[in-house]
């Protein structure tokens, strides 16, 4: 009987199927993490702008209160 050396077949399958699959998976995860980071940065910037607007509104009301207190 002739035995087939399955080790070589498995090595070739891993090289041509497994390795690209792993690389694509990590590439996908990296891209997804970059997108999440960008979304969080945009959300942070939006909150900074919102805070600035609230501070300006607060100063406006402080001036109104100061004028009425005189």
Give 30-62 pLDDT, tens digit per residue: 999 999 999 999 999 999 999 999 999 999 999
pLDDT of res. 10: 83
Burial zone of 46 (CB within 10 Å; 0-12 exposed, 13-18 middle, 19+ buried): exposed
| CA gap 34, 28 in Å, rounded | 10
Better pLDDT: 9 or 62: 62
> pTM of the prediction?
0.64
């Amino acid at each position: 009987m002739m035995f087939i050396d399955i080790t070589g077949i498995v090595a070739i399958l891993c090289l041509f199927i497994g390795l690209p699959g792993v690389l694509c998976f990590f590439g996908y995860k990296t891209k997804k993490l970059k997108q999440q980071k960008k979304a969080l940065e945009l959300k942070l910037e939006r909150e900074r702008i919102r805070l600035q607007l609230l501070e300006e509104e607060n100063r406006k009301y402080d001036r109104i209160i100061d004028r009425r207190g005189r």
